[in-house]
Amino acid sequence: MTFPYQEFAREKMPALLADLKDLIAINSVRNMDLATPEFPVGPGPVKALEKFLNIANRDGFQTENIDNYAGVVTFGQGDQELGVAVHVDVVPPDEGWSQDPFTPWVKDGRVFGRGASDNKGPALAAYYALLALKEAGFQPKKKISLIIGTDEETDWVGMKYYLQKSPAPNWVFSPDSSFPIVTCQAGLAVLQTDFIGKEATGLVLDSFSAGQATNMVPAAATAVVSGENLAKIAAAFPDFLAKNSLTGETKETASENGNCLKISLEGVSAHASVPWEGKNGACLLASFLRDFPFTGRAKNFLDFAGDLELEDYYGEKIGIANTDSEMGKSINCPAVFRYQKGQAEACIKSDIRYSRGTSPEKMCQQLNDKFGAFCQTTFQPYQDFEKPHFVASDDPFVKTLLSVYEKQTGQAGETIISAGANYGRFFKNGVGYGPAFPGSLDTAHAIDESVSLAELEKSLAIYAEAIYELTK
């Protein structure tokens, strides 16, 4: 039996677009300040999960909400199970959007809004592939589970909870990655560098702040300084902005301790797996400020952020560089910056996508051996999903997915090694499968995030045939 997969996709796109607009309109950023037993990672992700399950209920699927941590849409029965793992949470929108990130808009064949490409659009493409098969009368010989997570962008607690309640599927693909197929994913670690030492005198760094999530290049950065040289700093800033093609401003205000200068800079956000595609606002602002006579802990913080971390994409300057013959280089993305005068908080959190041959423990030791006189680096406890992940390229599951891709696109398929992270890494036989096509525009985590409607349609057709071939 064969099905007209491209026709399926064309017919389903109007309904997909309507549902996608509704999902984007839900601000599903994790908010632990509002977390309760009812809302484990805050109300937003739960609202998006409920919306997704309501869509599936509307269309006659069996669904289950697993204590507001995760959800599952099931189709078919069998002793073996295919999982399709998606998520409905999103990263916080940085400043600089041209329109409200949670009011979707369509322009030039693309849908704009936070979550359009990561991962609400592709999640719906996979869902509508499943719906098209169901409506066409397909009876799978394996159980198919569309698993919906609520915390993929941060700690993955939703998928962890799901696996505590349900057995892992035999095979899983996640439409939160790239075509042709991602079979190898770098390890993940968040390193936190805390700065120690005496406070500055003379010119004072009162505060420094940038970044909201560790898996994003921070665009906006703000510092407040007081004491000496404020006029010189304000006068020099416009030239720095012009030289680096940046926008920003200074504003002098009064405080209890006299006048202070607020300095704001806007860089360019990007996904932490490709930090060179952005402009790290924090590192750039620190590079500007370090030219002025700060002392003590403030100087150490600014020198580290503005010199060592500036464009150190592979950790060479900070001393954690590592290269594997198959996986390539480890990737370093300093992402969250916090400094507060007179308080313990003075830290940089960095997202590290590491290749085989190193580990979080080893990198912390390297940093502490080199910079321990003025800072200490630790890492957040990590689980198995954060270690490097591999699925053999000759696995029949991989071969089937590659074959479908080649048939639908007419392009040769090959396995990909990725510094990105998707739910595929959570499962022994888990891979990333689309939605990004080779050479396509990738705006995940970026300002004015968007997804191509034409590419969603292509993805939907591929997912429909892949699900059929894997479960017939």
Q: Which residues are catalytic?
A: 89, 152
CB neighbour list of residue 315: distance below 8 Å, 6 or more residues apart = 321, 322, 330, 331, 332, 352, 363
Give the rounded distance of the alpha carbon of 344 from its chain centre. Answer: 28
Alpha-carbon torsion (147, 414, 355, 279), positive or negative: negative
Radius of gyration of the chain (CA): 24
What are the residues facing 176 on neighbouring strands? none
- CA–CA dist 311, 317 (Å, integer): 9
Q: Are 470 and 400 in contact (CB under 8 A)?
A: yes
Q: Are 313 and 305 in contact (CB under 8 A)?
A: no
